[in-house]
Chain A
Amino acid sequence: MALMKIVEFPDPRLRTVAQPVTVFDAELAKLVADMFETMYEAPGIGLAATQVDVHRQLLVVDVSEDKNQPLVLVNPRVVERSGTQVCQEGCLSVPGIFADVERAERIRVEAQDAKGAAQVIEADGLLAVCIQHEMDHLAGKLFVDYLSPLKRELVRKKLAKQRRNAA
């Protein structure tokens, strides 16, 4: 297993739209394992392939307290959504920034697992938020896109400053 580098906003690669996964082989299994390792290490509760510069429709999540409920979604599609909730979100590609985002309260997702088997996931609460957040990444979208242009500019400046300080 290996840690992967997480691409950070405003890197244009985060705007790439991911392509469907068609081959479910050992290489995919390794990618999934590496993404989990990278996510837990970050630490995060969800990671989309886009964020590690792999532009395939693949995401991993684990919102459990004990980090023992890993979930892999390949080629996910939201088939039902209802209600709304506002949750403070943060993103491993936008470190240190947290903002309230409105999302569907419940979703029903059809996807495949790492071996290609079909699965249906009913999610609500934090899990639903997290899946929607990661699916946005696969479409080249970021949670900061939901902010007003002014706020987004502030975020960009704040990140630039963080980076200067870190360097």
Chain B
Amino acid sequence: MSATAADPGARLRAEAARALARIVFDGVSLRSAFDARAARNADPRDRALLSATLFESTRWWLRFDAALAGMLERPLPSKAREVRALLVLALVQVEVMAMPSYAVVAACVDAVRLLGQPGLAGLANAVLRRWLREREARLAALDADTTTQAAHPRWIVDALRADWPEAWRGMIEANNHAAALTLRVNRRRSTREALLERLVADGVGATAHGDLDDAIVLDASTDVSRLPGFAEGHFSVQDGAAQRVATLLGVADGQRVLDACAAPGGKTAHLLERASLEVVALDADAGRLPRLRENLARLGLSAQVRQGDAAAPAAWWDGRPFDRILVDAPCSATGIIRRQPDVKLHRRASDIRVLATTQRRLLDALWPLLVPGGRMLYTTCSVLRTENEAVVAGFAAAHADARTIALPDGLGEAAGGGRQNLPGSGGMDGFFYALVEKAH
């Protein structure tokens, strides 16, 4: 019997190829492409395979798409883009995910038919077998250039090398490794010890983070919504680098705080878990506010959630100043490529200037909302100096009443007026912090 639509391996790969094509060619985010397919795959094993395949194929696209191009006499036509995605994911399953090659080849050749391109099944078979015969020489050729060796676009390699002449190689390497899952205990509902005990009792490998009060690092990635205590709001998922923000902002009970770029509310919630505050949680994107509200509700927290452009406070500010302002700005996300590998494919070099302009506008517009003696914390998950220290330096130079406050060494590399955690350093994401105080 030939494998048919009922053959799960082929069907799953055809689905993955369709989702991957959406990510690579249509600019759809990895997360939404996965979510759109996940619903149809109730079986947790199928879901896990789909997720891992999409992650690794996105992460390694630039390497194995180049590998594929090297084996084709002429490029596949655009109507065969799903077959192109399928062949790349086949190479990734063999080379990165270490799946048995005969299984991958067989299922992928069938998947070509399921993608409605039976005429390309022979080509797919020939190309994949050729790869298996010639893989060593071909891998060596890919390794000769950083873009194809590490599957990063040229502009990111160049930007990292320029900004971090010592560290760039390690950063690229870290970007290609999946990140550990880190939880944040909701200290209003539980304690780290109690949660750890519950997790371990449930057979989930987990340890307390050495430097962060609220953090638990899981041994293996898992569907967190199935962990004990999730529905009851005992914890959230949040990288360690982001968990430093609440401490750095230095909040105390009774303060009025603005979280200017709040959705989906990870940092808003952490602030509220640690102190009794009056928080205005603002975000420009109305579509992201429901998630913010859901998260606060699940954790048993409350804030004034508002939609608005932080750079235009007249539309939403009631005139009462804030003791603390957090600007967790929109950025290139170049510090979290290990978690969002689609950044490699979706960001353009030209985005960076535009982002820096927005970031600077946010700081300028929000500064008047801060009380004298108040503090504003600027954070990004970028590792590019243009978005980080350059923005802060320009801002500080333009405001005589602004003073940047030195941050502890432990936060990462000194970077102008702030600190940069490099991706993977301390097991955490790439993250930039700068704290500015307003003169009395």
Which residues of A line the B interface, CB within 8 A? 40-47, 61, 63, 65-68, 87-92, 95-96, 98, 126, 129-130, 133-134, 143
Contact = CB atoms under 8 A, between A and B. Distances in A.
Contacts of B8: 65
6 smallest beta-carbon distances between A and B, as pairs: A43-B106, A90-B2, A67-B103, A46-B1, A65-B9, A133-B1
B102 A67 contact: yes
Contacts of A42: 2, 106
Contacts of A95: 2
Contacts of A68: 100, 103
A46 B4 CA distance: 11
Interface of B: 1-9, 12, 99-100, 102-103, 105-107, 109-110, 113, 118
B118 A66 contact: no
Report which residue of A43, A63, A91 has the largest number of chain B beta carbons within 10 angstroms of its beta carbon.
A43
B1 A89 contact: yes
Contacts of B4: 87-90, 98
A65 B6 contact: no
Taking chain B's interface residues, is the majority helix, strand, or loop, or is none over half, making it mixed? Answer: helix
Given A65-B107, A96-B118, A43 B3 contact: yes
B106 A88 contact: no
Contacts of A63: 7
B5 A45 contact: no
22 contacts: A43-B3, A43-B110, A45-B2, A63-B7, A65-B12, A65-B103, A66-B99, A67-B102, A67-B103, A67-B107, A68-B100, A87-B4, A88-B4, A89-B1, A89-B4, A90-B2, A96-B118, A98-B4, A129-B6, A130-B1, A133-B1, A134-B1
Nearest to A65: B9
A134 to B, nearest CB: 7
B350 to A, nearest CB: 43
Contact of B7 (A40, A41, A45, A47): A45
Given A65-B8, A96-B118, A44 B103 contact: no
A9 B113 CA distance: 20
Contacts, number: 68
Contacts of B102: 40, 67
Contact of B1 (A40, A44, A65): A44
Contacts of A65: 8-9, 12, 103, 107
Given A66-B99, A67-B100, A67-B102, A43 B1 contact: no
B14 to A, nearest CB: 14
Contacts of A143: 1
A43 B100 contact: no
Contact of A88 (B6, B12, B105, B109): B6
A103 to B, nearest CB: 11
Contacts of B2: 42-45, 90-92, 95
B111 to A, nearest CB: 10
Given A43-B3, A67-B103, 14 more contacts: A41-B106, A43-B106, A43-B110, A44-B1, A45-B3, A65-B12, A65-B107, A66-B9, A67-B9, A67-B102, A89-B4, A92-B2, A95-B2, A98-B4
A48 B3 CA distance: 14
Nearest to A132: B1
A91 B1 contact: yes
B5 A88 contact: yes
A142 to B, nearest CB: 11
B86 to A, nearest CB: 14
Contact of B5 (A40, A91, A98): A98
A87 B103 contact: no
A46 B106 CA distance: 13
A90 B7 CA distance: 11
A96 B2 CA distance: 9
A90 B3 contact: yes
A95 to B, nearest CB: 7
